[in-house]
Structure 1
């Protein structure tokens, strides 16, 4: 009976995770016969879960729409996955760390004793990697405003903030008026939240750092546009102008690379900045814990370098070149 109940719970989890499953797919995922799946579906129906049978060659099972479901429960694998995710999630939203800890404690309270023991063995300590440079945490209200506008396709009015999150006021040398944009995609990459939007004044696609925006939502709807290349990941990663600024490093240097900005932007480490110079050249500003570290990163781009600054970086490149030239081949 216990085995049947666990299998039924697993079946419910599968049905909740996807719009529709074929009978054959469910049998394969559960490792049972199709007859057993049919029996478990009837078990769920007796518990008032509205499992609908879809007839036809593309038929199968789905959870019925427009019904109020009894509270769903995690199966063992889902509970462990959520627990690990809560402990390893980066803190990119104000208060998220405390909220994640509370959510994890709440999750533990509803777990069976066996799973609670497994959870205790998965107490994790998350350490920041040297190359992780998340943006300052975002206010949850601003994130909700942007996320809601993306979901409902409502135009946003945004003010661009300075790197220290301060507002630009009229009369300031760097003041710029509020922009009206169509928010299409919300993206998280390298510990930063980005908004892919269409600027209505410039008629261009742009990538914005969400922590650099002061958003105000409107009720003005917009129609979906086709993103250049129809690939949001590629668009964000190859856009050199994302509002990024150099991270704080012990050493920071710049170099002119004989590569297009969109190529370097795709592979530059977090916390660096790529500036477009012309279609075949760009300026890369990056940091490391040593001048040799910057020189080593520059070498990975396998291209000619000019205009290196400061002099300490030039000296580090020369030392590395001499060291590599003296390597004996065996």
Structure 2
């Protein structure tokens, strides 16, 4: 084995399989002199591997842990096992490491040979997890989307909306976000000239275009906030409108992505639709409104009116008799 690179990789593979090797054993395995072996060990050290050398008759070489993670060398079985584990973690949302699992999966999927890809898919398809997500998402699709997000590559796909309508989309991917056991793609929709979120399980016919673009600035603190604002709550039992005395520009500047559904109201006002699973959750949104911005709550639900009145009374009582507060311009309107 005369090629230094091949020899170094073979040496690394041997060091990873046993805790300790003597110098003569490694020289015999690699069919090199001990002097050449020492040079190969130095090459591994330059790459970041900590190879300890013990001198003497009983001496030898040993791979030690280091302060940073050097490149790993995996055999076929190890690569398949890791890929399957990462697929399960990413698709099933194991723990809080979905993003980390997906990032690692994308890197491994990118370099796996075709025969190993088939083994990974077969094992994944015939392994039934104890906990499933509501909608199954192909790990291949997640990996492909993750790479497109990383490379800022435009994609085309078919998308089925909640109504059942299917459309063709041309997008610039930004981020993948896991939420409530589902995956969402945050992307700039080229055809609609606006930001959108897409449920990954509703994508089909994913096609890379090979076109790379400059990244766009997301109109939110991060992609997770954007998805939360776009899809929270997924089902609501209570609705209301906060009609604020402000311009649309001011409302959008203050509330950011959370005001994406706000509309221009009459007489220089902005209507901000609120929806929540419970009345207290709905009223929490009112605390966001700045103190210098007048507002009124418009709702047909008596429970919302009563909750707001009760809250105002409790807040006033909590301040004490000498610290009465002025209620908002209108507590509610039918």
TM-score range, shorter chain: 0.3 to 0.5
TM-score by length of 1: 0.48
Whichever of the two has the greater Rg, that structure is 2
